[in-house]
Amino acid sequence: MSQTTPNHTQTVSGWAAHDNSGKISPFTFKRRENGEEDVTIEILYCGMCHTDLHYAKNDWGITMYPVVPGHEITGLITKVGSNVTGFKVGDRVGIGCLAASCLECEFCKNSEENYCDQIQFTYNGIFWDGSITYGGYSNMIVANHRFVVRVPENLPMDAAAPLLCAGITVFSPMKDNNMLNSPGKKLGVVGLGGLGHVAVKFGKAFGLHVTVISTSPSKEKEAKSRLGADGFIVSTDLKQMQAERRSLDFIIDTVSANHSLGPVLELLKVNGTLVLVGAPEKPLELPSFPLIFGKRSVKGSMTGGMKETQEMMDLCGKHNITCDIEIITPDEINDAMNRLAKSDVQYRFVIDIAGKSNGALN
């Protein structure tokens, strides 16, 4: 394991955290030459995921400093390897969380690379050549073509960027649980942040009855009027929670703060499923009675495979689904990180890496 190899000859400008203070500062580093199976991408935009904050501060104890975050990347292809047939120079593309996998296991062969035992991430991972991966807080990236997707022509590149993580993270469990072709089914979304607001948009696009579950009564107006949610439950209001018992078919829990799953499970119908996509730092409280007496299931889900990610992007193009974003410049990253820690964003920060944006809000 090393930061570079002799093949890393391209000088790149980026932004990195160097210690657990989490402070992001300009950082110059090297990327590999474009290989036969690679594409080189000029990065235009990069979304800011809560995971970026965790890695910058080493909250999970696995950060390899310096770390260049960013796995919600959109840009334009500038170079194509000799063995790459699916992309050409100038294509609008995106990169999500995945940089490499073994390509040989049952999951890789089934287009579920995200569950490969040897999966390596877009940043803070170890690539096939032994080098440490650096993410999208930078002006260019070299990627194996297998882990690149097309961005539909009708989607703006800035508001499409968070779909590469937030979008696929909620899309995958919805597809896995047959919610894409079940109009009229009742979907619950716990948390109205970067992931939650996209889950609401997907739910409405697929004809579901969508209820947002939140600790913040103030979010009801935005959930209904801005995003089109059909219902809203304040999770700290016991009367509201009791009134909605056994009302939902499927719940996506996007919250990364510690919370008990018991009250949420009671909202599910018999045989209902709760899927966790948030990653709290401490183990969650999971009482057995709501599971036993409701024949309910609790599952987890992590991003999605590459075929599924392209399917998600194509459906977003068809339904004109994008993320609600706030554009920032690279010199505003630290302020945005501080606001992200307080959930002070609607609903995703996106860094204008290449200085192409004309406005601050979308």
Same domain membership, residue 172 and residue 152: no
Q: Residue 308 domain-assigned?
A: no
Same domain membership, residue 86 and residue 70: yes
The sign of the dihedral angle between the CA atoms of 350, 351, 356, 360 is: positive
Question: Which amino acid type is present at position 183?
Answer: P
Cα–Cα distance measured from residue 125 to residue 270, given in angstroms and rounded to the nearest whole number: 41
Q: How many domains, the chain? A: 2
Exposed e or buried b for every residue in 95-133, given b needs 16+ CB within 10 A?
bbbbbbbeeebebbeeebbbbbeebbbbbbbbbeeebbb
The DSSP output letter for 138 is B
Question: Which amino acid type is present at position 340?
Answer: L
**pLDDT number for residue 2:** 56
The DSSP output letter for 49 is -
Return phi, psi of residue 55, to 5°.
Answer: -70, -40
Structure tokens at 314: 């194509």
Same domain membership, residue 142 and residue 41: yes
Pairing of β 73-80 and β 38-47: antiparallel
Q: Which helix (H) or strand (E) holds 32?
A: strand 24-32
Q: Residue 359 domain-assigned?
A: no
Same domain membership, residue 155 and residue 15: yes
Same domain membership, residue 105 and residue 89: yes
Q: Residue 189 domain-assigned?
A: yes
Exposed e or buried b for every residue in 250-282, given b needs 16+ CB within 10 A?
bbbbbbbeebebebbbbbbbeebbbbbbbeeee
**Which string of DSSP letters, residue by residue, matches 59-109?**
TTS---SSB-----EEEEEEEE-TT--S--TT-EEEE-SEEE--SSSHHHH
Are 336 and 314 in contact, with CB atoms under 8 Å apart?
Answer: no
Same domain membership, residue 243 and residue 185: yes
Spell out, as residue ranges, where the chain has pLDDT lower than 50: 1, 359-362
Pairing of β 140-144 and β 38-47: antiparallel
Q: Which helix (H) or strand (E) holds 200?
A: helix 194-205
SS (HEC) of 222-260: HHHHHCCCCEEEECCCHHHHHHCCCCEEEEEECCCCCCE
**pLDDT number for residue 139:** 97
Terminal C-alpha separation, the chain: 40
Location of structure tokens 């961005």: 151
Q: Residue 310 domain-assigned?
A: no
Return phi, psi of residue 120, to 5°.
Answer: -125, 140
Domain that holds residue 208: 166-300
Q: Residue 340 domain-assigned?
A: yes
Q: Residue 307 domain-assigned?
A: no
Same domain membership, residue 187 and residue 159: no
Cα–Cα distance measured from residue 223 to residue 214, given in angstroms and rounded to the nearest whole number: 10
Q: What is the CATH number of the domain that holds 70?
A: 3.90.180.10
Same domain membership, residue 225 and residue 96: no
**pLDDT number for residue 328:** 97
Vertex 33 angle, CA 31 and 36, to 5°: 135
Are 326 and 301 in contact, with CB atoms under 8 Å apart?
Answer: no
Cα–Cα distance measured from residue 67 to residue 55, given in angstroms and rounded to the nearest whole number: 8
Q: Residue 251 domain-assigned?
A: yes
**pLDDT number for residue 169:** 97
Same domain membership, residue 347 and residue 240: no
Same domain membership, residue 109 and residue 128: yes
Cα–Cα distance measured from residue 312 to residue 171, given in angstroms and rounded to the nearest whole number: 7
Location of structure tokens 């992590």: 302
**pLDDT number for residue 362:** 41
Same domain membership, residue 23 and residue 151: yes
Plot region of 354 (φ>0 → left; ψ -120 to 50 → alpha; else → beta): alpha
Structure tokens at 51: 């995971």
Same domain membership, residue 199 and residue 127: no
CA dihedral 183→188→193→197, nearest 10 degrees, is 10
Q: Residue 94 domain-assigned?
A: yes
